[in-house]
Amino acid sequence: MKKLLFITHHYLDGTGGGCYASRAFINAFAELYDLTLLYPIREGKEALAINGNVHSIPVAYDKSRWGKLADLLLGRVHRYYHFIKRVDLKAFDVVVFDTSMVSFRLIALAKSYGCQTICIHHNYQYEYFKDNSRFPLSLPILFWCKRYEGNAVRQCDLNLTLSPQDQMLLMKEYGGNKPFGVLGCFEYEPKEEPVLTKQHRTTKRFVITGGLSSIQTEVSLMDWLQQYWPLLLREYPDAQLTIAGKSPSSQLIKKCTELGIRIIPSPKDINQIIQEADYYICPTHLGGGLKLRIMDGLSAGLPVLTHEISARGYDAFRDKCLFAYSDADSFVKALKATCDCSYAPQVIVKMYRASFSFEAGVDRLRELLKIQKKRLLIFHPTIAPYRIDFFNSLYEGFDTHVCLYYRNLHSQKFDYAKIESQFAFTPQYLEEKVKLMRRTIYGGIWEKLKAFSPDIVLVNEYSLCTIAVLAYKWLFHKSFKVVTICDDNHNMVVEHNDFSRLHRTARKLITPFLDDLILPDCTVAQWYQDHYHKGCYFPIIRDDQQARATYERLLPQSRQLIEQHSLKGKYVFLFVGRLVENKNVDTLIKAFSLIKNDHCLLVIVGDGEKKPQLESLAENHHVLFTGRLEGDDLYAWYNVADSFVLPSHKEPFGAVTNEALLAGCWCLISEKAGSQCLIKEGVNGDRFNPDHTEDLRDKMKKALNRKTVHDLQQLRDNLMCNSYQTCMEQLITTLNNL
């Protein structure tokens, strides 16, 4: 799980809207990340309702009033400037700033350690402070607000707002080209859906709740009582109004008393007061942002009457169970619509939960974080069946664009239409331009780089495409990272068993300019680290769960093969591959013939130029040639086989080893095959020297001691020691940290 540092300036022991929202955001991120929290603390107070898995670090701010004023004048607008130096930012993948205020002068620091940065804007803060601060203190507040809010919008990798209106205002004011998303607000923990009943009353009961001490609330309420309360009484003379909330001013209490309005200062149970009402009113017309008090009304199943400013973020409810006004005429119209609302309380609650439940918030956050993905541009020759899961996972892990050279491997004849149908993406195919010494130059590479503006470019081997990408990066001073998928194995790089001198030379010349390499052999990955200080390990393997599901589906077909070829009670050795020189199948047949066991069968799946010669060699030795198979017809044989053998003289990897291990086959793998790195000797197979027939014979005899079960009523155990999911998570983390 990725590690995330969450920094907030809200006191989490409070009851205000900002504290409520911050608790919700902390708990939601904690569902998706291993979260460490930096938060302000007051003496004797503790953070309330925070996920128990969060690593909390409270930060005190022990300065006098004059010290705090000096900090404000100097632009030290939060308490984390010096404390952040004690935090090991290298340990985190993501840093979240809860409000732009705490991001000031910390964004660049977080990015210097390779962290992705997210800012949550609770509102358009400049507008909020303009409505909620008094002169002359408002001057430095607004001065610095303009700077830190603008910096966050322009520098953070992702900006999240609570309403579309706030997003529009921030983008209009500060510009920038960083991604935005509307997160909204939601409850800070899962809750059961309440059961509500609507009581029939002749008197209409209205309620206004929330903190009553802020400037925006008091000014809005006093104005509402003066301008709109008489209009409400004119329409509904018997209406009753209750105002309840924390710390109302004496002026507000006096005004309510004069008007005969019930006011309840700092009530113990605000929910009970709301549930006694028929309609909810939010009169606030200052401050902007999403007014969380409206959530209180909707969660109780009440229709809501609100000022237009406070309707921000509630678009899904407008003209259904929420009605907005901006002047006297629109107030009367909205008031009547509120009182005539036909939505039952339980329906309003269901609508509310769809948008504002904790579960809905986590789902929304999970979806929004996709915006944060790095842009990955892939250039690859084509995609073989055993690489489908790999490229699909990269497509899901990044904002990915895939460019291929051609359909199907030149050395294979796969059903490519079937392969394409399994892609999670739609690839583009490059246009063939020039043939050069048995190599093809493809056009459009630079155009793709310019159009897509990638963060990472994934190329193949030390190809002409790799050179073209590196040349573009150098000529145009681009900062994207270049990573190649290289099938070198330890035998090739250490014992100089390369396919060609050209490949060996290209390795020496090109590797220094690459940012990283993806290598299928853990030992060769270490060799690259030792020689070039780069190279990460990802074997050529399939998604465990998907492959195992396929094998389980094919058990009936596998049982038919046993019946068809009279294999019950026999030990089956299996080879899968092309019948060509470097596959060394003749050594396999010779080793098998030396076993001299009538209860064994060698099954050879494949085709190629050496097939006639191999058939002649295998005559009278219990060898079955099936011809070339793919898809289900091939996978069914893995269920049948007891042992799988890969005897190659030269094999960059050998994806068939992974396919066999997933089906539970004991695997005998050549020391010169890259896939020998998947073998833990004595646990899931053995390695052998492909140049010594007797060594292979001995390993095959040893394999015969393993119990043979051919009823295939269920799958055998998965013998892969490496989990695909774990390997892929490590690879995506490595690429993200480049």
Any bridge partners for residue 98, and if so which?
Answer: 8, 120
The owner of tokens 């000797």 is 681
Give the start-to-end residue ranges of the domains of the chain: 3-182, 205-356, 373-537, 566-721
Cβ–Cβ < 8 Å for 709, 568:
no
Judged on CB neighbours under 10 Å (0-12, 13-18, 19+), 501 is exposed
Q: Give Cβ neighbours of residue 451 (< 8 Å, ≥ 6 apart).
A: none
Q: Which fold has domain 3-182?
A: Rossmann fold (3.40.50)
Q: Quote the Cα angle for 399-404-408, to 5°.
A: 130
Q: Are 182 and 164 in contact (CB under 8 A)?
A: yes
> What does each C-alpha distance from 460 to 442, 451, 464 come to in angstroms?
13, 20, 9
Architecture of domain 373-537: 3-Layer(aba) Sandwich (3.40)
Type and span of the H or E element at 182: strand 180-182
Between 726 and 48, the higher pLDDT residue: 726
Residue with tokens 């007051």: 42
The amino acid present at 395, given as its one-letter code, is Y
Given a contact cutoff of 8 angstroms between Cβ atoms, the answer to whether 552 and 662 are in contact is no
pTM to 2 decimal places: 0.56
The per-residue pLDDT for 607 is: 94
- Among candidate residues 144, 43, 148, the one with its CA nearest the CA of residue 106: 148
pLDDT of residue 332: 97
313 token code pair: 């973020």
Q: Is 319 exposed, middle or buried (0-12, 13-18, 19+ CB in 10 A)?
A: exposed
Spatial distance between the Cα atoms of 158 and 144, rounded to a whole number of angstroms: 21
> What CATH code would you report for 566-721?
3.40.50.2000
Which is higher by pLDDT, 43 or 156? 156
Tokens of 638: 């893995």
* Higher local confidence (pLDDT), 602 or 367: 602
DSSP, collapsed to helix, strand or coil, labels residue 295 as: helix
Q: What residues contact residue 574 under an 8 Å CB cut-off, 6+ apart?
A: 602, 603, 605, 637, 638, 640, 641, 643, 644, 645, 660, 665
Output the CA–CA distances (angstroms, integers) from residue 407 to 139, 338, 542, 707, in the order listed: 65, 62, 20, 42
How far CA 328 is from CA of 280, 288, 336, 520, in Å, comes to 18, 20, 13, 72
Would you say how long the chain is, in residues? 738
Query: What integer is the mean pLDDT of 281-307?
Result: 90
What is the pLDDT at residue 418? 87
pLDDT in tens, 164-200: 999 999 999 988 677 899 999 999 988 877 766 656 6
- 372 pLDDT above the threshold of 70: no
Q: Sign of dihedral through CA atoms 476, 482, 486, 488?
A: positive
Here the tokens at position 677 are: 């790195």
pLDDT at 703: 94
Question: Which of the residue ranges 134-138, 298-302, 441-445, 664-668 would you say has the lowest mean pLDDT?
Answer: 134-138
Lowest mean pLDDT among 125-139, 256-270, 345-359: 125-139
Mean pLDDT of 610-626: 94
What pLDDT digit, counting tens, does each position of 416-443 carry?
888 899 999 999 998 876 776 666 778 8
Residue 258: CB partners within 8 Å, gap ≥ 6?
Answer: none
Q: How confident is the model at residue 408 (pLDDT cuts 50, 70, 90)?
A: low
Among the CATH numbers 3.40.50.2300, 3.30.70.890, 3.30.70.1070, 3.40.50.2000, which is that of 205-356?
3.40.50.2000
**Structure confidence at residue 441 (pLDDT):** 77
Regarding predicted confidence, which is higher, 624 or 196? Answer: 624
Whether residue 63 has pLDDT greater than 90: no
Tens digits of residue pLDDT in 508-527: 999 999 999 999 988 899 99
Per-residue pLDDT, averaged over 341-370, amounts to 92
What pLDDT, on a 0 to 100 scale, did the predictor assign at position 705? Answer: 86
- Say if 205-356 and 373-537 have the same CATH topology: yes
pLDDT > 70? residue 409: no
